[in-house]
Amino acid sequence: METGSVHELLVEPHALGGQGGVLAAHAARGGARIGAWSTEYGPLNRVVSLWAAPADPRPEEEAAADDWLHPRSLARRLQVRRAVRPELLSAPCLELRMYAARPGQCDDFLAALLQALPFRERYSPCAAVWKSSERDVEIAVHLWAYENLQQRMAARSAAMQDPDWSAYRASIRPMLASLQAWLLLPLAKEVR
């Protein structure tokens, strides 16, 4: 899972109680699944999974502007910009953050983020950083690990008081068009 490799992020909706069916399809799919979670805050009734990219990638669908919220399956190719830390993927609470960059700004945003991560990781660890694109929009994707929602709130509050992190945040505002964040919970072991 080194920098420069490619992953695939799958977002799969299901009927209430239907996680088992999605995961059975994962078993039939084969391949190297890196992690799987459910969303309890954000888009409900979805399984979000991270895979080592298949050798024969599926073509990305041309979709509506609200791709991340659309209630159908999505597959997004992710270029690794900071290696995945596997030990963090089983954290009790993960936050998936997706920043749509203004045209031509994503690489600058990612460079600033990677440089500033040591400041932010004073409060909580970053599990990975990727770059993706949808149509003509470049997206920075990162994943943060927490013990629970209270720790997430405390870490974010403390980071906002950190002058180094505050300077970074001020510098990136002109680079970004929008943000989406999802809280992910690991799937129960019995449905994995």
- Dihedral angle of Cα 152, 33, 50, 80, to the nearest 10 degrees: 100
Confidence of residue 139 (pLDDT cuts 50, 70, 90): very high
pLDDT at residue 99, as a whole number: 95
Which CATH fold topology does 6-191 show?
Answer: Alpha-Beta Plaits (3.30.70)
Q: Is the pTM of this model over 0.85?
A: no
Residue-range domain boundaries for the chain: 6-191
Across 162-177, average pLDDT: 95
Instruction: Please state the three-class secondary structure of 21-32 as a single string.
Output: HHHHHHHHHCCC
pLDDT, tens only, 100-135: 999 999 999 999 999 999 999 999 999 999 999 988
Secondary structure of residue 189 in the 3-state scheme = helix
Q: Which residues neighbour 27 within 8 Å (Cβ) at sequence distance 6 or greater?
A: none
